[in-house]
């Protein structure tokens, strides 16, 4: 099943799971709409032909949803009854932090073997270097910022671009560095807006007319609109524009990196079930498959690399 926010590459993972499971002699079923579908028994048998030609598609053919009901004792009991009623003997869960929080709580009460896959564009899970969908989302954001930079240069504008990242700033950091942004504002650091304004002022004196600021939606200072307001107050004659990329970052055909990652992790997850591993997330660290207990996956995001944060200032001079 896929749960929480969708991410490019989920379909590639579904394809790998279905075909590896069938290769292993298992009967494979898909649970539609995540935990809510589990509660309602929206469970369908899957064949190899059901996953033909989906490796290149964004979204998820199993659909996804967030379920408040599942976090109640009654909801979990309903889900367990549906699983046992459909003779489900093991689960593979594709999702992010919320998916594994729900799994951790569920498996404290009910014993069903389960392996998770990190499917989230935010790259905010401990236990893996990369998550399914992150590479595609960063490339989408980078391409959008590149295009924004073209029009910024044509009009000598300051552009404030907001990208996804409520709790983690990896999309902002990576897309901002890759597109040559002058400032990158992320939740992991405290934003000094005066510092940002002073750099714009310095650019003005050096006749540098374009200034791109990439803001993660969860930055402590606030949204791109708030950053825009602060710039406008200091520079009333400056041409300033704001662009919120929004859900464009979730969609689209997954990159080759996400297709390979999803396929490797889906294949590894089925083999882990076959070998008796349970209540773990399959991840990739230093290009090797690793397994991390669900309880450890949800503790927080990997730390930001200080060299990347320091590099922004140097390369934007």
Order of strands, edge to edge, in the sheet holding 211-216?
183-185, 211-216, 158-163, 240-244
Classify residue 251 as left (phi > 0), alpha (psi -120 to 50) or beta: beta
129 catalytic? Reply is: no
227, 161 in Cβ contact below 8 A?
no
Q: Alpha-carbon distance 258 to 101, whole Å?
A: 23
SS3 102: helix
Instruction: Map tokens 């898909």 to a residue.
Output: 30
Closest CA to 240 of 250, 227, 249: 227
Q: Alpha-carbon distance 81 to 38, whole Å?
A: 9
DSSP assignments along 208-230, one per residue? ---EEEEEETT-TT--HHHHHHH
DSSP assignments along 87-100, one per residue? T---EEEEE-HHHH
Angle between helices 224-234 and 193-205 (to 10 degrees): 50
Residue of 42, 97, 122, 219 marked active site: 122
Task: Sort strands 288-293 and 280-285 into parallel, antiparallel or unpaired.
Answer: antiparallel
169, 312 in Cβ contact below 8 A?
no
Closest CA to 241 of 227, 254, 258, 220: 227
Active site amino acids: 122
């Amino acid at each position: 099943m896929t749960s929480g926010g969708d991410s490019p590459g989920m379909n590639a993972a579904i394809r790998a799971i279905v075909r590896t499971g069938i290769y292993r002699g298992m009967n494979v079923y898909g649970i539609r709409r995540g935990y809510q579908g589990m509660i309602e028994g929206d469970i369908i048998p899957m064949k190899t032909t059901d996953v033909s030609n989906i490796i290149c598609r964004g979204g998820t053919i199993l659909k996804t949803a967030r379920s408040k009901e599942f976090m109640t004792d009654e909801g979990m009991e309903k889900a367990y009854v549906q699983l046992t009623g459909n003779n489900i003997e093991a689960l593979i869960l594709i999702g992010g932090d919320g998916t594994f929080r729900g799994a951790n709580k569920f498996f404290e009460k009910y014993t069903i073997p389960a392996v998770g896959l990190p499917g989230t564009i935010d790259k905010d899970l401990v236990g893996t270097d990369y998550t399914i969908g992150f590479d595609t989302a960063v490339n989408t954001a980078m391409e959008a910022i590149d295009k924004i930079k073209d029009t910024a240069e044509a009009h000598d504008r300051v552009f404030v671009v907001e990208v996804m990242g409520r709790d983690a700033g990896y999309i902002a950091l990576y897309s901002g560095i890759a597109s040559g942004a002058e400032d990158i504002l992320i939740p992991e650091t405290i934003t000094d807006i005066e510092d940002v304004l002073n750099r714009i002022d310095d650019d003005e004196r050096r006749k540098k007319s374009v200034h791109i600021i990439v803001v993660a939606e969860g930055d402590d200072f606030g949204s791109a609109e708030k950053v825009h307001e602060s710039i406008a107050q200091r520079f009333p004659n400056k041409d300033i524009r704001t662009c919120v990329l929004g859900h464009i970052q979730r969609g689209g055909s997954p990159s080759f990196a996400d297709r390979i990652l999803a396929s490797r992790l889906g294949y590894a997850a089925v083999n882990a079930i076959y070998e008796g591993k349970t209540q773990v997330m399959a991840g990739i660290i230093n290009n090797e498959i690793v397994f991390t207990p669900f309880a450890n996956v949800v503790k927080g995001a990997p730390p930001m690399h200080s060299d990347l944060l320091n590099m922004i200032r140097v390369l934007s001079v």
